[in-house]
Amino acid sequence: KKSSGHVPYQESPTRARNKAIAHYSKELGKRTMGMSGADIAKVINEAIIHAAKAKKNVIDWDDLNFALDYTSLGPMKRMKIISDEQKRIVAYHETGHALVAYLLPCATNPTKVSIVPRGNSMLGFSQSVPEEEKKLFSKQEMIDHMHVLIAGRVAERIKFKSITTGASDDLERLTRSARDLVMRYGMDEQFGSMVVLSEHQYSDETLHSIDKQVQTVIATIEREVEALLHKHLASFEAIATLLFEK
């Protein structure tokens, strides 16, 4: 029997999957953008397993939320040993990402932030889910996304006056995005609509100018993120403290 906010699973796996998809279609649609049918089926199956382990007769959003995180981020590693010092660093790092994503108008709003270790290497995460699947992005959307990427590194420096290796993946993505803005999409004011299709087509002087402009874009974004976090320092501290203590 179906009750409000819950989906019975003790019928057959197929009917339970179909009812879960129908009942939570809006929320699932947002969280599963880009997933294949097989990936979504795996999410529903994990939700059924999670509900069964909890000895529940219905699938609710908690089960689906657990399944979405499990399939996309990996299993939680609650027994993973991490010192309080490192836990605090992760808390402030992830708070930086989430707060900047929330504050910037063209960034995707954060839906979840956690410092529970997952998978083999992930010590925490800040998750943002777009309202709709997009193929085209404006210049400001790209720039705001780059602000979010570097916010974890900047947050570490503001709080601890030092930086760690935790931002390595963020910085790789940031550098690719900055180079794409300058070289691929013709969105840079200095180079205008010029697109660099192959670096072999240009002189060393031009390539050096491109590298300098990429560095300028990243440095400007870094300064703006630092100013933004200082402006909202009270919220920054409050969220990071809550994450650490939770």
- Given a contact cutoff of 8 angstroms between Cβ atoms, the answer to whether 232 and 160 are in contact is no
Among the listed residues 163, 182, 82, 171, the one whose alpha carbon sits nearest the alpha carbon of residue 122: 82
- Given a contact cutoff of 8 angstroms between Cβ atoms, the answer to whether 93 and 50 are in contact is no
Q: What is the pLDDT of residue 2?
A: 40
Identify the burial level of 104 via C-beta atoms within 10 angstroms of its C-beta, where 0-12 means exposed, 13-18 middle and 19 or more buried.
buried
Strands (E), the chain: 7-8, 58-59, 110-114, 125-128
Q: What is the pLDDT of residue 217?
A: 97
- Separation between Cα atoms, residue 170 and residue 102, nearest integer Å: 18
- Separation between Cα atoms, residue 66 and residue 118, nearest integer Å: 12
Q: What is the DSSP letter of 201?
A: G
The total of other beta-carbon atoms located within 10 Å of residue 111's CB is 14
Helix (H, G, I), strand (E, B) or coil at 118: strand
pTM, full prediction: 0.74
How many angstroms separate the Cα of 72 from the Cα of each of 11, 65, 67, 75, 222? 27, 11, 8, 9, 29
> Which residues carry out catalysis?
94
pLDDT tens for the chain, 246 residues long, are 344 455 555 555 556 555 655 666 667 767 777 677 788 778 888 888 888 888 887 778 788 877 877 777 666 655 456 889 999 999 999 999 999 999 999 999 888 888 877 655 567 878 777 777 778 999 999 999 999 999 999 999 999 999 999 999 999 999 999 999 999 999 998 888 888 877 777 888 988 999 999 999 999 999 999 999 999 999 999 999 999 987
